[in-house]
Amino acid sequence: MGKVLTNKDRKALEAWDKLVRDILTETVVEDLGYAEVQKKRKELEADPVAWIYYMFPRAAKYPFAKFHIKAIKRIIANDDWYEVLSWSRELAKSSTVCFIILHLVLTGKLRNIILASATQDSAERLLRPHRAHLENNARIKQFYGEQKGSLWTSTEFVTKKGVSFIGVGAGNAPRGSKNDDIRPDCLLIDDFDTDEDCRNEYIVKKKWEWFEQALYFTRSMSEPLRTVWCGNIIAKDCCITRAGAKARELGKREKPLGNWDIINLRMVNINKPDPQNDFLYGTSSWKEKNTEERIDIVQAQVSASSVQKECYNNPVSEGETFKEIAWGKVPPLRAFPFLVCYSDPAPSNNTKTKANSYKASFLLGILEGKLYIITGYLDRVTNAEFVEWYYYVDKYVDGRNQVYNYIENNKLQDPFYEQVFILLFSQARQNHNKIINISPDERKKPDKFARIEGNLEPLNRQGNLILNEAEKGNPHMQRLEEQFLMVNPRLTAPADGVDCVEGGLYVANQKMSALAPNAFVFGTRVNNNRKF
The predicted-structure confidence for 229-267, as pLDDT tens digits, reads as follows 999 999 989 999 999 999 999 999 999 999 999 999 999
The per-type count for the chain, helices as H runs and strands as E runs, is: 20, 19
What are the φ and ψ backbone dihedral angles of 117, each rounded to 5 degrees? Answer: -140, 180
Q: What is the pLDDT of residue 531?
A: 36
Mean pLDDT, rounded, for 421-449: 90
- Asked if residues 403 and 371 have their Cβ atoms less than 8 Å apart, the reply is no
Residue ranges of the chain that CATH labels 3.30.420.280? 326-531
Total number of residues shown for the chain: 532
Query: How many whole angstroms separate alpha carbon 366 and alpha carbon 493?
Result: 28
Is the pLDDT assigned to residue 520 strictly greater than 70? no
Q: What is the pLDDT of residue 2?
A: 57
Top-confidence residue, 310 or 181: 310
Mean pLDDT, rounded, for 318-323: 85
Is the pLDDT assigned to residue 526 strictly greater than 50? no
Is the pLDDT assigned to residue 349 strictly greater than 60? no
Report the alpha-carbon angle 347-352-353, nearest 5: 120
Q: Please give the distance of CA 51 from its chain centroid, rounded to a whole number.
A: 31
Query: How many whole angstroms separate alpha carbon 519 and alpha carbon 506?
Result: 16
Is the pLDDT assigned to residue 437 strictly greater than 70? yes
Q: Which long-range contacts (CB under 8 A, 24 or more apart) does 416-419 make?
A: 416/345, 416/347, 417/345
Nearest one of 496, 91, 450 to 276, comparing CA atoms = 496
Q: What is the pLDDT of residue 181?
A: 73
Q: Which residue(s) pair with 442 in the sheet?
A: none
Which of 57-71, 300-314, 324-338, 476-490 holds the top average pLDDT? Answer: 324-338
Residue ranges of the chain that CATH labels 3.40.50.300? 31-263
CATH code given to domain 326-531: 3.30.420.280
- Asked if residues 27 and 139 have their Cβ atoms less than 8 Å apart, the reply is yes
Query: Which fold is adopted by the domain 31-263?
Result: Rossmann fold (3.40.50)
Q: What is the pLDDT of residue 178?
A: 67
Q: Please give the distance of CA 151 from its chain centroid, rounded to a whole number.
A: 40
The number of CA neighbours under 13 Å toward the Cβ of 285 is 30
